[in-house]
Amino acid sequence: MAKQIVLAGFNEFSPRMLRLLGSLKASGCRIYCLQNDRVPARNGYRVAAGSAVEEWQAAIHWAHERLQQHPEQRVAIVSPALEHDAALAHRLLARTFQSPEASVSLPFNIAVARPLIEWPLVRAAIHWLSLIGAFLRDQSVSPSVAGAALLAGGCAGHEQEAGNRATLDAVWRKNRIVKVGLSEFTQFLADATPVLHQSWVATIDLCMQAPGRQGAVAWAQTMREWLATLGFPGWGALDSDAFQSLEAFDRVLTQFARQVTLLGAISASEAMTILRRLLRETLFQPQRDSASRLDVLGLLEAEGGRWDAVWVMGLTDEVLPAAPRPNPLVPIAVLKAAQAPRATPERELQWAQRMFSDLRCCAPEVVVSHPLHEGEREVRPSPFISDWPLKPIASVAKNLSYQPGPGAAIEMETLADTQGPGLLSEERIRGGVQVLDDHAKNPLWAFVKYRLHARELTNYAEPGESNARGIFLHGVMERLWRDLQTQDRLCEVVAQGQLSQVVRRAADEAAQVTLTDYSLRLRQLEVERACSVVAQWLEVEAQRPAFSVYELERRYVWQYKHLELGMQIDRIDQLTDGRWVVIDYKSGNGPVDPKSSWTRSRPVDLQLPLYASVLQQEHTQSAAPTVAALVLAKLHASGNEARGLADVDCFRGVAAVDKWEWPDAKGKTWDQVMTDWHRAISLLADEFIAGVAENRVWSKQDLQYCDVKPFLRRFEEEL
C-alpha cells in the first residue's frame, strides 16, 4: 500500500470516501490535499440577453472575436444547461467557427457525452443488425425497421445510393405498407440500390449459416462479419469523431462477449437486445482536439480549470443557487445530518457559493450572463452576479448581425408577397378535390403543396390504423350493395333472416383484398367489428324511402381550365322520382355534420358539393338527373349516423335545405345552393390557377391536418 496519497480536485467528500480515507490513514498512509493558487479575476462584468438562444449567440461570437485577436489564448464557455442545449450549441459553434465563409476554421471542444448508440455510425450498425435479426426471426419486418437502416446508411453504396434508399423509405410510407418480406426487400434493393443489393445478398447468405443459438463470443464475431460483408462503415475517409466512435463500438462488442459465461447460449434477437442496452448505457465523447482553443463545458466540468478568459452563462436565480430536490424516500432530518447534496436550501447555498468562487478564479477575465426571459416567463439574475457591472450585449459581441450600432435605429420594412406565378397555358394540375380544399383553407398551403410539390413525410403505416380500416369498410359496403342492389332486396333479406350471412360474406371477401398484411386473429377481429357496424347501419337504410343503387365507387374527373381534379363517389342511390342521393362513407369517430364547412363563403370538404353543383349545371343543359341529397354516412362502432343536406326527405338526420342559415341569407332553395356552390368553387379554382398564395387562415381548425405547417410559419402570430 502507498505510504502517501495526494488528492487533487476534491472540494467535498462523500461518506463512503471519508470512511475509505479514514481506513487508509489508520493504516499509516499519509493523506495530502493539493490546493492550487486561487486568484479572482481582474476583469469581470455582466451581460443580459433577451433569451437563452441570444445568450448562446453572444457568448460564441465573443469567443470567436477573442480568438481571432489572440489565437494563442485558451477560452471557455460554461453553461449549467449544456446537456440540454448541446445540439443548439454545436449548431451555432459550427456556423461561426467552421462555416465555409470563415477565413480560418477553428476547432472547438464540447464536453458533453452522449449515449454511444446516438452516434451516427453506431446507430447505423445497430439498425442494420436489428433489421437482420428481425428477418431471421420473422421473415418480415415493419417498414419503420427497414427504413431506419436504409436512412442510417453506413453500408455499401453509402453516398452514391443515399437518394435511392431514401426514396424507398418514402414509397413505403406513401403506399401505407405494413410489412416488408425478406424476398420483397431484396428485390427492392436490386431495383433501386444495386451496389447495396450485392452486399446485402452476401450478408443474408452468411446469416443463414449462423446457428439459432450461440454464446456471446460467437455472436460478437458474427456481428462483426455481418457488418463487414454489408460494407460497414460505408464512408470514405472517417473523421476523428467517427473513427473514435467505431473504436468505442468495438469495445462494447468486446464487453458483450465477456458476458459469455453469464448469458450462455442466446438467440440473435436476445443478443441484439443486450447489445442495444449496452450501447445505450455507454456514454461516449471524442477525445479533445489538441488544437482546440475553445472549450464548452458544464459547471462541474469547469471546476478547477484555468483559461485566459471565460464566459459563464445561464446564471439565473433558479440555477445558482438551485432549489433543493431532496430524495423523497429518505427523511429530511437524515439528509440534513448527512449534508446530502440537493437536500436543503442551506446545502444548496453552500454549494453555490463554493462553485461561484471557483468560477471567479478560473480566468483573469470572467464574463457572466443570464437571459431575461425563458419563453414568456421573466427571469432574474442570480444574486451572486446581480451587483456585477452591466455591459450592453453589443459592446461584448460586436459582430452579432442582429445588433444595431450605438444610437442606430432600424426602420422596419414589411413586404406582403401573396401572389405567385400563374399556371402557364400548357400546365396542368392533376389531383383530387383536396387541391381546392387546401386552397380554401389557406392559399399558401395549396401553392406550396401542389405548385412547389413540398409536403410532410407521412408516418409509417401501422396495422389497424384508421385509414386501413376505412378502406376495408368501403370494400364491405361496395360488395354488399353490389349484391343487394335495392332497398326491397335488403328488406327481403332481413325478413328471411339472412342479413348476417350476407354481411359476413361481403366482409370476408373485402378482408381478403384489403387486410392482407394483418395477422389472422387481427383480421378476424376487424371482420367481426365490421359485421356489427354494417348490420346496425342497414337498419337505418331499411327505414328510408324506397331507393335503388344507381352506381358504386364512381370515378369522376372535373376539368376546369388548367385543372383536372378526380373524385370517387362511394355510392349514388336513385329515388323513385329519378333523382339521386349521393353518399360518402366516413369511418372515423369525429363529427360528420358538414353544416359549418358547406355554409362558409369559402366552402371546404368539397367533394360532394363539387359533384352536386357540376351535375346541376349539366342538368340545366340536358335531361340528366339532378341530385336531391348529399349524405355523409358515419360507420363506426361508437354509433352510426347520417348528416348532410337534402331537397327531399330521404334520410333520418339529413337536414332540409330550408333549415340551414347561410352567411348571405337565412334560407335558400336547392337550386340557389347549387348555383352558389358552383360560383364559389369556380372562384377558388380561378384563384389557384392565377397563383394566389395568401398566407391566411379563416378558421383555427383548418390547419389541424396541414402537412406544410413549418413553411406557413403561423406560429409567429396569433391565429
* One-letter-per-residue 3-state SS of 465-480: CHHHHHHHHHHHHHHH
Q: What is the mean pLDDT of residues 611-636?
A: 79
CA 421 to chain centre: 32
Q: Which residue has the higher pLDDT, 292 or 530?
A: 530
Is 57:92 a contact under the CB 8 Å cutoff?
Answer: yes
Q: Is the predicted pLDDT of residue 403 greater than 50, yes or no? A: no
Q: Which residue has the higher pLDDT, 591 or 610?
A: 610
Look up residue 708 and give its three cell numbers: 406544410
Reported as a pLDDT band with limits 50, 70 and 90, residue 328 is: confident
Phi first, then psi: what are they for 343, rounded to 5°? -85, -40
| pTM passes above 0.75 | no
Q: Cα 177 from chain centroid?
A: 19
Check: CB of residue 288 under 8 Å from CB of residue 244.
no
Q: Please answer whether residues 441 and 688 qualify as being in contact, where contact means their C-beta atoms are separated by less than 8 angstroms.
A: no
User: Mean pLDDT score of the chain, rounded to an integer?
Assistant: 87
Quote helix, strand, coil % in the chain, to nearest 5: 45, 15, 35
High-pLDDT (> 90) share of the chain, %: 38
**What are 45's strand-pairing partners?**
367
Tens digit of pLDDT for each residue in 494-525? 988 889 999 999 999 999 988 887 888 888 99
From residue 125, alpha-carbon distances to 46, 122, 130, 283, 431 in Å are 46, 5, 9, 17, 40
Predicted confidence (pLDDT) per residue in 334-369, tens digit: 888 877 887 888 888 888 888 888 888 888 999 999
How high is the pLDDT of residue 660?
82
